[in-house]
Amino acid sequence: MPMTRPKTRIQQRNSETILEAALDVFSAHGFRGATLDQIADLAGLSKPNLLYYFPSKEAIHQALLTRLLDTWLDPLRDMNPQGDPVAEVMAYVRRKLQLSRDYPRESRLFANEILQGAPRMRDAIAGDLAALVAQKAQVLTQWMDQGRIARLDPVHLIFSIWALTQHYADFDVQVRAVLGEGHDPYAEAGVFLDQLYARLLAP
C-alpha cells in the first residue's frame, strides 16, 4: 500500500516519474487545466496506474506543492545575519534569480496557486513563509538601524526581490516576445538587478 510512502525502488522511481510529468503539466495549465491523461502520457504510464501510486489528482498536486515550498524558501533562509549586509542581500537576489532560471516550472506552479487565491497553500503561506519573512525582516531592520544599508520597508524589499526575479520565470513568454531574438533574459536580468540593488541598498 504505497499510500503515504512508497517502499520499493520501482515504486520510488515511478513516483518520481509521475511527479516530474505532473510538474510539467500542472505548471503549464494550472490545476484544473491539467488532466490525468496528459500526466499519464508524459509519464509513460496508464491512467489507472497513475492512480495506483497516488490516490487522486489532488494528491499529486499536493505532493508537488509540499516539496516545493522548502526549495523555494531556502535562498531566503541562507541570508546570513553575520555577513556583510549589501553582499548578503545581493547574494539572495542572485540565488533567487538562479532559481527562476533553473526551476521555472516550480515558479509557475507556485504562481498559478497564489494567483488563484492559494486554495491549497494558505496555511503554509500564513505560517512558515510569513514567519521566515518576519524573522529576516528583523535582520534587515537591524542592518538599517546600523546604517549599513539604506532604510526601506524590509518586507516590501523582500517582496521586490520576489517580484523581480520570479517575473522572468512566470512571464517568460512575454519577456521573450518583447526582447525578441538573440537575447539571454536571465543574463541581462542578472546585470540589471545587480545595478538596481546596488543603488537601492547603498546607505
Partner DNA sequence: GTCTATACTCTGATAGAC
Partner DNA sequence: GTCTATCAGAGTATAGAC
User: What is the distance between the alpha carbons of residues 90 and 50, in angstroms, rounded to a whole number?
Assistant: 42
Q: Report the b/e string of 82-108 with b at 16+ CB within 10 A.
A: eeebbebbbbbbbbbbebbbebbbbbb
Cell 501510486 locates to 53
Residue 14 binds which of a second copy, DNA, none (CB < 5-8 A, kind-dependent): DNA
Q: Does 10 bind DNA (CB under 7 A)?
A: yes
DSSP string, 115-152: HTT-TTTHHHIIIIIHHHHHHHHHHHHHHHHTTSS---
Nearest to 98, CA basis, from 183, 200, 198, 187: 187
Q: Does 16 bind DNA (CB under 7 A)?
A: no
Tell me the residue length of the chain.
203
Amino acid identity at 46: S
Task: Name which of 31 and 53 has its Cβ closer to a second copy.
Answer: 31
| Residues from 12 through 31 that contact a second copy (CB under 8 A) | 28-31
Give the nearest distance from C-beta 31 to DNA in angstroms: 9
Strands (E), 40-183: none
| Residues from 37 through 56 that contact DNA (CB under 7 A) | 37, 45-49, 51-53, 55-56
| Residues from 62 through 121 that contact a second copy (CB under 8 A) | 108, 111-112, 114-118
Task: Name which of 55 and 81 has its Cβ closer to DNA.
Answer: 55
How many of the chain's residues bind DNA (CB under 7 A)?
Answer: 23
3-state secondary structure of 134: helix
Contact residues toward a second copy (CB under 8 A) are: 28-33, 108, 111-112, 114-118, 122, 125-126, 129-130, 133, 150, 152-153, 155-157, 159-160, 162-164, 166-168, 170-171, 173-175, 177-180, 188-189, 191-192, 195-196, 199-200, 202
Contact residues toward DNA (CB under 7 A) are: 2, 6-8, 10-11, 14, 34-37, 45-49, 51-53, 55-58
